[in-house]
Structure 1
């Protein structure tokens, strides 16, 4: 009769699954990384220019906000 004492039994299975899941998370994390770090390094004016370039705001809104920032 086998009592699962070889290499820790059930605990070893738990550790292997934990390591496998941790490895998958570490490998996939960069794929789902947001642009949050890029946004933190941008100045408010750079963000405003990017939003204008992307068409999120119009020229009037851009000029108004640019004036507020200056």
Structure 2
């Protein structure tokens, strides 16, 4: 049946079409969010922890042994 009042195969057809498009939009939103907000947990890749930065500064001679011990005790 078709004609005036039979939207896209009747009222159920309209509801199904709207439901389909809502699901498509939601799926695209979830996919976009998953791709943009991918994290492995913890700190982002390429970022050093404060303790690693401290150890590198100590190894480079930027801080003394006493400073290293004091700051390390504050961090842990």
TM-score bracket for this pair, using the shorter chain length: 0.3 to 0.5
Q: Which has the higher contact order (CA 8 A, sep 6+)?
A: 1
Q: Look at both structures and tell me which one has the larger radius of gyration over its CA atoms.
A: 2
Query: When the two structures are superposed, what TM-score results if normalisation uses the length of structure 2?
Result: 0.45
Higher helix share: 1
Query: When the two structures are superposed, what TM-score results if normalisation uses the length of structure 1?
Result: 0.47
